Amino acid sequence: MAARRYGYSVGNESDPGDPWGRSELSIEADGRVSLRHHFPGPLATRGWTGRVEATMLEALRGALEEAGFPDGPSAPPVAGSGLRRLTVGTAYVALPWHLPAAQAAYAKAFDLLDGVIHELTAGAVAYSTTHTGLVSDINEAPGPSYQ
């Protein structure tokens, strides 16, 4: 899988069962990352930027190749389930938040992506992850906040 732009969207700020809201993560081929996060409740949108190392991108590419990206499950997600949406270039897959065991390679990729979000936000978005030290040059980006 050649170096391309990665897009990852997870969550729903309008879902009362989703405590974290919605994250919209972009990772460029050169390692630049940006995150726009829409928190639930009194609607607040925040943004961050940073940089990931080439080793993180290699690990992400490896996990996606192992998963057979963009192939996903043949059955549609269960109604009401949270979704993870991943794009690489123009290829796209949507998977349920809770992945079946058969999707273990996607779980590796999502663990990396969730780790990037967790680090960018300094834990303000506390997705579970086994990774640390993925992001450098972190800055909170200026943006609107809605109360």
Distance between CA atoms of 5 and 18, rounded to whole angstroms?
A: 27
Whether the per-residue pLDDT at 89 is higher than 80: the answer is yes
Per-residue confidence (pLDDT) for residue 145, from 0 to 100 = 45
Cβ(134)–Cβ(115) below 8 Å? yes
pLDDT digits (tens, 9 = 90+) for 14-36: 777 777 788 999 999 999 999 99
Other CB atoms within a 10 A radius of the CB of residue 53 amount to 13
Cβ(21)–Cβ(121) below 8 Å? no
Query: How much is the pTM?
Result: 0.87
Per-residue confidence (pLDDT) for residue 96, from 0 to 100 = 85
Q: Parallel, antiparallel, or unpaired: how do β-strands 32-39 and 135-141 relate?
A: unpaired
